[in-house]
């Protein structure tokens, strides 16, 4: 079968090789999936570049592990290892379950079309993969392959950030950076649904009209407008109560200065690839707080009951179209390097997808 793999962390998409490998076999609790489609998400680029690995080397529970031969873990219980290449890429997707290991959870998915959240080493950018049945959901007919392929990462993050982490109240202002992203647009729709106001920050104009049509309460284009001045004007000098940032760098530092009293900013990405300089007094004066967020580590801290209720809510909202994401371009698995280049281009209005099979 064809598999899009890296042999070492790489910056150049051409270093992803599509090679012929043996099909994996499901072990107990796993399903064997014939992949249909998969998105190219920013998190896939982190796996390509090795940025998760580099960040994990700095956390205290991996202290002293700088040698690439040492295993670093996502979590302090050392149960979720960050894999080192060589391995396949791809973090989520949609496919058909063709075989299953032992166990009720896996066997009940046999023959079903599922959304799966897998990841290296068992990536989704392959013709076939295996995944733990707990990380798969049978899809109703109402959810297309395209939306099914993007079922996990962004919808759950958008829901959890706004409803569980920040708990943005009805009428409150939520500032959203990189708001033209798939996740940003979902947050705007969540704002309409749950009654909070969204102040969308984008660097160009490619997504401005669509954001306004979706119901954004304000859009600030940082290429031509001054962010803090606009936030002052829009919120009548009060600042925003809540912010989510996935850009980092100078923008995140400026967003901090847009928070009102007791404001809360959640950091969940670093698209700018540069550290945020946190000026302590910018945090002290508004008595504000900043927190970090990584979906798998948030999920690992939740009770099974909480996870069940989140998954139910996300499924219902997906069927309602709250997380609908436009597909900008579709590439064949052999064209994976072009797909990664397309996903890295500025001014996109939808997702870049890989298609492994049609049905």
Ligand X SMILES: NC(=O)c1ccc[n+]([C@@H]2O[C@H](COP(=O)([O-])OP(=O)(O)OC[C@H]3O[C@@H](n4cnc5c(N)ncnc54)[C@H](OP(=O)(O)O)[C@@H]3O)[C@@H](O)[C@H]2O)c1
Q: Which residues bind ligand X (CB under 6 A)?
A: 41-43, 153-154, 157, 178, 180-183, 203-204, 206, 246-247, 268-269, 271-272, 293-295, 346-348, 351
CB of 133 to ligand X, least distance (A): 22
Give dist(CA 237, CA 69) in Å, integer.
53
Do the bridges between strand 197-202 and strand 173-176 make them parallel or antiparallel, or are there none, so unpaired? parallel
CB of 126 to ligand X, least distance (A): 20
Dihedral of alpha carbons 293, 296, 300, 306, sign: positive
Nearer to ligand X, 292 or 304 (CB): 292
**Dihedral sign from CA coordinates of 271, 116, 329, 88:** positive
The Cα–Cα gap between 91 and 325 comes to 17
**Minimum gap (Å) between residue 196 Cβ and ligand X:** 19
CB of 19 to ligand X, least distance (A): 26
Q: Give the three-class secondary structure for 272.
A: coil
Q: Decide whether 49 or 315 has the Cβ nearer to ligand X.
A: 49
17 versus 297: smaller Cβ distance to ligand X: 297
Shortest distance, position 305 Cβ to ligand X, whole Å: 21
**Within a 10 A sphere around the Cβ of 292, how many other Cβ atoms?**
9
Residue 73 carries which DSSP code? B
Q: How big is the CA angle at 200 (ends 341 and 158), to the nearest 5 degrees? A: 70
Query: Taking CB positions, which residue lies at the least distance from ligand X?
Result: 269
Q: Smallest distance, Å, CB 28 to ligand X?
A: 28
Residue with Cβ nearer ligand X (243 or 247): 247
Q: Which is nearer to ligand X, 11 or 67 (CB)?
A: 11
Give 10 or 327: the residue with its C-beta nearer to ligand X.
327
Nearer to ligand X, 3 or 207 (CB): 207
Considering the complex, state which of residue 128 and residue 268 has its C-beta at the smaller distance from ligand X: 268
What is the rounded CA–CA span in Å between residue 32 and residue 85? 22
DSSP state of 89: -
Nearest to 332 by CA among 359, 354, 310, 347: 354
Residues in Cβ contact with 322 at an 8 Å cutoff, skipping those fewer than 6 apart:
155, 186, 189, 190, 193
Residues 108-138: b if buried by 16+ CB within 10 A, e if exposed: ebeeebbbbbbbbbbbbbbbbbbbbbebbbe
Q: Which two tokens stand for residue 343?
A: 């996903």
In whole angstroms, how close is the CB of 339 to ligand X at the nearest point?
12
């Amino acid at each position: 079968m064809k598999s899009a793999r890296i042999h070492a962390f790489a910056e150049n998409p051409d270093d992803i090789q599509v090679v012929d490998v043996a099909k994996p076999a499901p072990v107990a609790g796993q399903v064997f999936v014939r992949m249909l489609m998969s998105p190219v998400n920013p998190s896939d680029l982190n796996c390509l570049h090795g940025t998760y690995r580099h960040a994990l080397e700095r956390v205290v529970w991996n202290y002293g592990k700088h040698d690439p031969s040492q295993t670093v873990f996502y979590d302090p219980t050392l149960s979720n290892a960050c894999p080192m290449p060589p391995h396949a890429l791809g973090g989520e997707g949609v496919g058909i379950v063709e075989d299953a290991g032992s166990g009720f959870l896996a066997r009940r998915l046999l023959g079903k079309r599922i959304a799966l959240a897998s990841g290296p080493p068992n990536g989704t950018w392959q013709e076939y993969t295996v995944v733990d049945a707990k990380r798969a959901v049978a899809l109703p007919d109402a959810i297309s392959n395209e939306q099914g392929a993007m079922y996990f990462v962004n919808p759950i993050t958008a829901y959890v950030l706004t409803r569980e982490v920040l708990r943005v109240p009805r009428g409150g202002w939520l500032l959203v950076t990189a708001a033209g992203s798939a996740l940003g647009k979902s947050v705007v729709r969540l704002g309409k649904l749950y009654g909070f106001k969204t102040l969308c920050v984008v660097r160009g104009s490619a997504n401005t009209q669509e954001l306004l049509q979706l119901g954004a309460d304000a859009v600030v284009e940082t290429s031509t407008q001054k962010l803090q001045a606009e936030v002052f004007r829009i919120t009548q000098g009060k600042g925003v109560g809540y912010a989510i940032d996935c850009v980092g760098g100078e923008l995140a530092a400026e967003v901090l200065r847009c928070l009102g009293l007791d404001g809360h900013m959640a950091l969940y990405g670093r698209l700018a690839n540069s550290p945020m300089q946190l000026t302590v007094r910018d945090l002290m004066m508004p008595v504000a707080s900043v927190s970090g967020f990584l979906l798998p580590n948030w999920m690992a801290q939740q009770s099974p009951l909480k996870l069940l209720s989140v998954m139910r809510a996300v499924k219902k909202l997906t069927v309602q179209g709250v997380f609908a994401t436009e597909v900008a371009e579709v590439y064949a698995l052999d064209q994976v390097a072009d797909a990664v280049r397309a996903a890295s281009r500025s001014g996109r209005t939808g997702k870049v997808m890989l298609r492994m099979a049609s049905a």
